[in-house]
Amino acid sequence: MQSLDEALERLLSTVQPLGLSECMPTGDALGRVLVEPVVSLIDVPPADNSSMDGYALSAADVQALGSLLPVAQRVPAGVVGAVHQAGTAARIFTGAQIPIGADAVIMQEQCEALAGEGLGSVRVNAAVQAGQWIRRRGEDVKEGATVLAAGCRLDAAALGLAASVGAAQLTVARRPRVALFSTGDELVMPGEPLKPGAIYNSNRYTLRAMLQGLGCQVIDLGIVPDKLDATRAALREAAGQADLIITSGGVSVGEEDHLRPAVQAEGSLDLWQIAIKPGKPLAFGRVAGAWFIGLPGNPVSSFVTFALLVRPVILRLQGATKLQPRGFMLRADFDWPKADRRREFLRVRLNDAGGLDLFPNQSSGVLTSAVWADGLLDNPAGQTITAGQLVRYLPMSELLA
């Protein structure tokens, strides 16, 4: 058996980015990977502006608490070129440009507005320092700065940042086309009668959802019968449409596991034994112009193996630079007294005390554990766990998106 790290290194050194891109509106690019960096052509903000509703003034005009200043003007957002008059204050609103010559803003909660001639006056009830509550031109982004690098996966904040520098269009990697099918005569689809010996095909739904969450265009080829000719035909069909083929089940060496000889007949295949639990068998190869990865059939094994090994490959195809999930050291609030010779990925959940609880049944067939959990505990081979011990926690948010 080879280690997870060895298998992942082989996958990522073999699979290369597709190198295909498209230009699309910024608002539609959520989850996509940037091919070209976003460079700002402007300062953000473009001018000094107020971060509060209040009064713009000169700090030198407030000599003591309770200083009274006439309000000379009103400056809402969008007004340009207002000029500060010495010895006065300007009513100003969040986002409005600071009048030329003013050097501070005091929030309205620290003032008392008084009626009178014109716009009245304001009593300043707090100390004022030059520069307070002013957002300076370019303090967020300087003109010419690269705000988003190539290889960045675009989340909501990144899209907002791109928009803030005026980027209406973004050049992103083309979505990977992934063909998906399951093998097994025992599989039926939800809604169909469950005959004796049959099981519903959960992997089709789990894997499809995980692929969609990674921005893939999914080509769903359904369930393929356990026959060599049918499996070969499905592989040819998949390779004609996809960049990557994902299957679940049929990667063992039993008489009814036709996937291995089918891939070997249509292309090339390595069958790996990965030293992880759940999961162990992984098939990797190529069919015509498409990469092929065969996952184990047990639902949790398929889920975990996809998260650890397939997800980085899909991100690699898109040219992403961040491929590995982040792990965090947290406290185990349970005992795990029996070490395994394989590296274990236990289904756990963060509790209100900041520790981790363990799902009681860690079988590779219990998909309930993956729904209950909000992360995986990465337990090294040969390692027991004692309550109170620090362990490595991989959140599902790092593994599924």
Q: Does residue 322 belong to any structural domain of this protein?
A: no
Label residue 251 by pLDDT band (50, 70, 90).
Answer: low
Question: Which CATH number covers residue 204?
Answer: 3.40.980.10
- The DSSP code for 336 is B
Let me know: does 367 contact 202? Beta carbons within 8 Å.
yes
pTM of the model: 0.87
Label residue 292 by pLDDT band (50, 70, 90).
Answer: very high
Higher per-residue confidence, 136 vs 255: 136
Kindly give the pairing relationship between strand 89-92 and strand 67-75.
parallel
Cβ neighbours for 351, distance < 8 A, ≥ 6 positions apart: 333, 357
Q: Of 292, 317, 342, which one is at a domain's C-terminal end? A: 317
List phi, psi (to 5°) of 176: -65, 140
- 341 and 281 within one domain: no
pLDDT for the residue 153: 96
Q: Does residue 287 belong to any structural domain of this protein?
A: yes
- 309 and 289 within one domain: yes
- Mean pLDDT of the region 118-130: 96
pLDDT for the residue 200: 84
- Mean pLDDT of the region 29-43: 96
pLDDT for the residue 194: 86
- 85 and 120 within one domain: yes
- 293 and 189 within one domain: yes
pLDDT for the residue 348: 98
- 167-193 per-position pLDDT tens digit: 999 999 999 999 999 887 788 888 888
- 360 and 220 within one domain: no
Q: Does residue 323 belong to any structural domain of this protein?
A: no
Q: What is the domain range of residue 235?
A: 4-19+174-317
- Mean pLDDT of the region 151-172: 97
Q: Does residue 265 belong to any structural domain of this protein?
A: yes
- Mean pLDDT of the region 8-32: 96
Cα separation, 97 vs 2, whole angstroms: 62
Label residue 252 by pLDDT band (50, 70, 90).
Answer: low
For the chain, the 3-state helix, strand and coil shares in percent, each to the nearest 5, are 20, 35, 45
- 152 and 116 within one domain: no
- The DSSP code for 353 is T
Question: Which CATH number covers residue 36?
Answer: 3.90.105.10
- Mean pLDDT of the region 256-270: 87
Q: Provide the angle, in degrees to the nearest 10, between the axes of the packed helices 259-266 and 228-239.
A: 50
* Distance of alpha carbon 351 from the chain centroid: 23
Cα separation, 141 vs 179, whole angstroms: 42
Q: Does residue 68 belong to any structural domain of this protein?
A: yes
Q: Which residue type does 372 have?
A: W
The end-to-end CA distance of the chain, in Å, is: 28
Task: Give the DSSP H or E segment for 22.
Answer: strand 21-25
Q: Considering only CA atoms, which of 236, 244, 253, 394 is closest in space to residue 326?
A: 394
Percent of the chain at pLDDT exceeding 90: 87
pLDDT for the residue 253: 54
Q: Is 31 helix (H, G, I), strand (E, B) or coil?
A: coil
Q: Which residues pair with 282 in a beta bridge?
A: 272
- 265 and 299 within one domain: yes
Number of domains in the chain: 4
Q: Of 317, 340, 362, which one is at a domain's C-terminal end? A: 317
The pLDDT mean for the chain works out to 94
Mean pLDDT check: name the lowest of 44-53, 103-112, 243-252.
243-252
Query: Is the pLDDT at 255 greater than 50, yes or no?
Result: no
- 12 and 35 within one domain: no
Task: Give the DSSP H or E segment for 161.
Answer: helix 156-164
Cβ neighbours for 143, distance < 8 A, ≥ 6 positions apart: 40, 41, 42, 43
- 199-228 per-position pLDDT tens digit: 888 889 999 999 999 999 999 998 888 888
Cα separation, 309 vs 207, whole angstroms: 13
- 360 and 221 within one domain: no
Q: Is 332 helix (H, G, I), strand (E, B) or coil?
A: strand
Q: Does residue 401 belong to any structural domain of this protein?
A: no
Label residue 254 by pLDDT band (50, 70, 90).
Answer: low
Cβ neighbours for 394, distance < 8 A, ≥ 6 positions apart: 325, 326, 327, 345, 375, 376, 377, 378
pLDDT for the residue 356: 98
Q: Does residue 61 belong to any structural domain of this protein?
A: yes
- 260 and 217 within one domain: yes
Q: Does residue 99 belong to any structural domain of this protein?
A: yes
Query: Is the pLDDT at 115 greater than 70, yes or no?
Result: yes
- 243 and 190 within one domain: yes
Label residue 107 by pLDDT band (50, 70, 90).
Answer: very high
Query: Is the pLDDT at 389 greater than 80, yes or no?
Result: yes
- Mean pLDDT of the region 356-382: 97
- 11 and 25 within one domain: no
Question: Which CATH number covers residue 356?
Answer: 2.40.340.10
Question: Which CATH number covers residue 77?
Answer: 2.170.190.11
Q: Of 289, 317, 345, which one is at a domain's C-terminal end? A: 317
